[in-house]
Structure 1
Amino acid sequence: MTPLFTSYITFNLLIFVSLLSITNHSHARQHPKTSDSLVLGLTNTRTTIKLPKQSSSTLNLKLTSSPSSPTLDMMEPLTEVRDGYLISLNLGSPPQIIQVYMDTGSDLTWVPCGNLSFNCINCDDYPNNTPMSKFSPFQSSSCVRDSCVSNLCINVHSSDNPYDPCNIAGCSLTTLIKGTCSRPCPSFVYMYGEGVVSGTLTRDTLRVHGSSVTREVTNFGFGCVGSTYREPIGIAGFGKGSLSLPSQLGFQEMGFSHCFLAFKFANNPNVSSPLVLGDLAISSNDQNQLQFTPMLKNPMYPNYYYIGLEGLSLGIGSGSLIQVPTILRDFDSSGNGGMLIDSGTTYTHLPKPFYSLLLSELESAIKHPRATEVEERTGFDLCYRVPCTNNVTNGVTIMDVDDHLLPSITFHFMNNVSLVLPQGNNFYAMGAPRNSSVVKCLLFQSMDDDEGYGPAGVFGSFQQQNVEVVYDMKMGRIGFQTMDCASSSAFQQLHKL
């Protein structure tokens, strides 16, 4: 997932084919126990650090939200994979287990779909060039294609004239106005960043299994996608719209929280990141530990999660505040600006002039030698050779890196929220230590020069590691507190013995 913010546009399949021909060149939070809670986890299977040169993008779909009637809480395990976190969906009758990205930057849930084959073009970055899992409609007795009667059909096309796609499909104006046209919802095509997906809006039974409760949605709406460009893994949209997974599960009016494990757990199948949906996510015995900043309301993009950034500071206590441009907390008349918080974007992105200022401040504060050859190879902007120390444990000598040799970075959000990022969320080791030093690179990026729309910045998932992030929909705010997410996972009984 990348930081590129693009509104979804409905295309027909001919345009899709044309586009493809062109593109070919710390402590655990004490949650109360409830009998109707679901506890699940996101598993971690990251293989390599994601380089800026190989970015893919996050889905962003303009949808309208609809109220739902929540009845229970849910905890979901997340799996970290390459540049995101995976959630398992049980779709169909009998259930088929499909793993998809958990994405707070979009609404639509879609899965790789095909009775015979799933076509993913230019997916060389993924093992065997095949999706991790795909859904077969023919194998499900409860799978049906959605119709033009459905409000989700209007939302999935997200056009200025919602009747137009169904009118082209043969619905008369009278049936459209009355909402009685039973013709199938037309196929959709979405283009976002470097990726394109094409599919049909489908309904089937979704089951979500918790420790003591199974939540079932018999008419769950999702995209059955048979052809993509650079997108072999599906997405579970966690935005505010009616198509989102929390909305269809009945939790959108409450909220949710997640706690992403650090990279070192990426290939550990026994530990997973907790994802909590419902009142359980925002009610705890240590609410005073959370700092809340308001969700900014963007009238043009109401289904995204925006927060306002007021400044950054380096170092603890004595660090001077680096003022940020007001566009990181304000919107223009077209809805551009603000900082998007997005689990589907790997690294935090900042507007280029301010990002350049941050780089300059860091260069002044860090006295270690630069590793320019690593910068050229990886595409990261600041890499340093940081000294290591020898530690002896049980007779074995290991190299240890003191993270405090690099300055901390504090994000200052609106409402006097100061989030000191865990040290591992700023610089990351590009390899094993050599000659008593290790190369660590800053994992921030700048927004693209040609982006004249969308958010001014993005708060990415790498900077959210070991931070509990709470989406409090009732109060319209987002909470932060640093936390050992592995301990939280153990507390939620998401560890496998």
Structure 2
Amino acid sequence: MPPITSKAAAMLPCSLLLFFFLLLSSAAAAAIKLPLYRHLPAAAAASPSAAAAESTHHHHLSRLAAASLARAAHLKGGHGHAHAEPSSQAPAAVRTALYPHSYGGYAFSVSLGTPPQPLPVLLDTGSHLSWVPCTSSYQCRNCSSSPSAMSAMAVFHPKNSSSSRLVGCRNPACRWIHSKSPSTCGSTGNNGNGDVCPPYLVVYGSGSTSGLLISDTLRLSPSSSSSAPAPFRNFAIGCSIVSVHQPPSGLAGFGRGAPSVPSQLKVPKFSYCLLSRRFDDNSAVSGELVLGDAMVPAGKKKTTMQYVPLLNNAASKPPYSVYYYLALTGISVGGKPVNLPSRAFVPSSGGGAIIDSGTTFTYLDPTVFKPVAAAMESAVGGRYNRSRPVEDALGLRPCFALPPGPGGAMELPDLELKFKGGAVMRLPVENYFVAAGPAGGPAAGPVAICLAVVSDLPASGGDGAAAGPAIILGSFQQQNYHIEYDLGKERLGFRQQPCAPKS
């Protein structure tokens, strides 16, 4: 059969051309599902029994609240990052499972090196450098109280990978983590790109990690029913040798910037569906991460996606250029708009709203938190008593005591986030209230519910205003939402949907 020229193509019936177009489009957008993976935190693995875990329920929630505050302090203070424009070339969509765990984040699995070494990594939209525990000399200080859990930690061994290379000082990737001129690099070795890139140090809210930047082959392993995507060669990633107070896994940076996973893999769009916290550390169910266009399964109705413009920080420089700022225009409690300061909406070094997968409970700056908390109390209208002991134990507020008697129902006000263009995120009550056990002793059941939001204590003599975003939308508020990061169109989409059966 001779090739079809443009003139011949013009003679084809429109229906046949449409068929070819749809065939090519579906092939390009076909999603590839990766195997389901469950990532257990060391703290949970070390729990001696279910009863002990239940008795430490209060500690669990207070630890998540403290971790959320520490994370907010890191994002508000920030560290140097690079920026990259979205790529115009996109590979086929790739899907992988996400799992919640006691560190408040979600994890998926990758393989690194030749031959491939499987590794768990945490999804982090608030940073862009990926790193993994690396070498047989890897040390993780104050990371786990369980020696057995630490010994079972997945560690990458570069010496066992024939494709692993140290990134050179004159390699552009070195500039992702160092702003100094290549002439300042030391002479510790040579890998064809000049002297070895100096070690990195990444400081997080609750700890840090340090090591050397390497490049290697990254693989995403699909299920047996799907075809595997091509390996991603020369993927730049941190080989961490020392970490302090970090989870027993690596981290995948999905923020804006050249080192990020979407940027290196040339993916202009990614999305995820965060599993409900009810399934914490449950290996039977999972959420999903998609690299590329998310496909709607056959036979399922596609629900409407609402889109919000992604904004750039007015400073247009690190660290704020890495964050996904949202065009937030207001917050309503019980159907009534809350009077908030302008800094809640304007992206700058001291304001704006960002979305972050690595923060558990949403953070509100004191200038934003106080009017929101006051509106919540006003909407409750004195129907329920404040539970001060639970508030003091958790660090969350306001907390309301559950009514006495079995099956007591509570009437709680709606919480809505409103965005430019008319998009509204109406949060279900389980996304902004959390049930809490008694302040001490074994938990016989929840005794109060608390607003799942954290804030700083106002500075003495001030209003608590500080640098960095004023609002950080955390993963607890994102559960059972499909969240899409359309980097090509600079927008964020969302729709409420179950991320797992019965979730």
Q: TM-score range by the shorter chain?
A: 0.7 to 0.9
2: CA distance, partners of 1:70 / 1:422:
34
Change (3 A) 1:128 1:72: same
Which of the two has greater strand per residue? 1
- Cross-structure match for 1:409: 415
Structure 1 residue 134 corresponds to structure 2 residue 155 = yes
CA displacement 1:121-152 (0-9 Å, x = unmatched): 22247776738422122222221111123211
CA displacement 1:199-243 (0-9 Å, x = unmatched): 100111110022413231121110000112212432100012121
Change (3 A) 1:140 1:348: same
Structure 1 residue 441 corresponds to structure 2 residue 450 = yes
Q: Offset at 1:114?
A: 2.0
1: CA distance, partners of 2:437 / 2:303:
39
- Cross-structure match for 1:229: 244
Q: Which amino acid aligns with 2:233?
A: T
Uncovered stretches (5+) of structure 1, i.e. residues with no partner: 1-31, 391-399, 490-497
Q: Which amino acid aligns with 1:230?
A: H
Asked whether the 8 Å contact 2:340–2:371 carries over to 1, the reply is no
Q: Offset at 1:273?
A: 0.7
2: CA distance, partners of 1:144 / 1:479:
38
71-80 vs 60-69, which deviates more? 60-69
Q: Which amino acid aligns with 1:458?
A: I
2: CA distance, partners of 1:196 / 1:451:
26
SS in 1 for 2:329: strand
SS in 1 for 2:322: coil
SS in 2 for 1:468: strand
Q: Which amino acid aligns with 1:122?
A: N
Structure 1 residue 381 corresponds to structure 2 residue 397 = yes
Of 172, 184, 191, which aligns to 1:167? Answer: 184
Of 305, 309, 319, which aligns to 1:294? Answer: 309
Pairing 1:30-179 to 2, within 5 Å after superposition: 36-40=30-34, 41=36, 43=38, 45=40, 47=44, 48-49=60-61, 50-55=63-68, 56-57=70-71, 62-68=81-87, 69-82=89-102, 83-115=104-136, 117-124=137-144, 130=150, 132-157=153-178, 159=179, 162-164=180-182, 166-170=183-187
- Cross-structure match for 2:16: none
Q: Offset at 1:295?
A: 0.1
CA displacement 1:130-176 (0-9 Å, x = unmatched): 3842212222222111112321111122x2xx315x523149xxx9x
Asked whether the 8 Å contact 1:123–1:129 carries over to 2, the reply is no
Pairing 1:138-287 to 2, within 5 Å after superposition: 138-157=159-178, 159=179, 162-164=180-182, 166-170=183-187, 181-211=193-223, 212-215=226-229, 216-232=231-247, 233-251=249-267, 253=268, 255-280=269-294
2: CA distance, partners of 1:125 / 1:328:
39
299-308 vs 270-279, which deviates more? 299-308
Asked whether the 8 Å contact 1:36–1:213 carries over to 2, the reply is no
Change (3 A) 1:282 1:183: farther
CA displacement 1:273-304 (0-9 Å, x = unmatched): 11111123699997761111100112223332
2: CA distance, partners of 1:142 / 1:195:
30
Structure 1 residue 476 corresponds to structure 2 residue 470 = no
Q: Offset at 1:441?
A: 1.5
1: CA distance, partners of 2:329 / 2:154:
42
Asked whether the 8 Å contact 1:411–1:418 carries over to 2, the reply is yes
- Cross-structure match for 2:346: 330
2: CA distance, partners of 1:149 / 1:129:
39
Uncovered stretches (5+) of structure 2, i.e. residues with no partner: 1-25, 45-59
Change (3 A) 1:355 1:33: farther
1: CA distance, partners of 2:387 / 2:302:
43
- Cross-structure match for 2:15: none
2: CA distance, partners of 1:107 / 1:362:
35
Q: Which amino acid aligns with 1:226?
A: I
2: CA distance, partners of 1:308 / 1:425:
21
2: CA distance, partners of 1:453 / 1:436:
40
CA displacement 1:323-346 (0-9 Å, x = unmatched): 3222122134xx442111100111
- Structure having the higher Rg: 2
SS in 2 for 1:356: helix
SS in 2 for 1:289: coil
1: CA distance, partners of 2:86 / 2:396:
43
Moved segments of 4+, more than 6 Å: 32-35, 281-288, 432-437
- TM-score w.r.t. the length of structure 2 is 0.77
1: CA distance, partners of 2:420 / 2:99:
31
| Count of residues in correspondence between the two structures | 431
SS in 1 for 2:98: strand
SS in 2 for 1:480: strand
- Cross-structure match for 2:429: 423
Q: Offset at 1:401?
A: 6.6
SS in 2 for 1:313: strand
1: CA distance, partners of 2:350 / 2:146:
33
SS in 2 for 1:405: coil
Asked whether the 8 Å contact 1:190–1:198 carries over to 2, the reply is yes
CA displacement 1:381-432 (0-9 Å, x = unmatched): 2222223775xxxxxxxxx574x52222111122222111121111111239
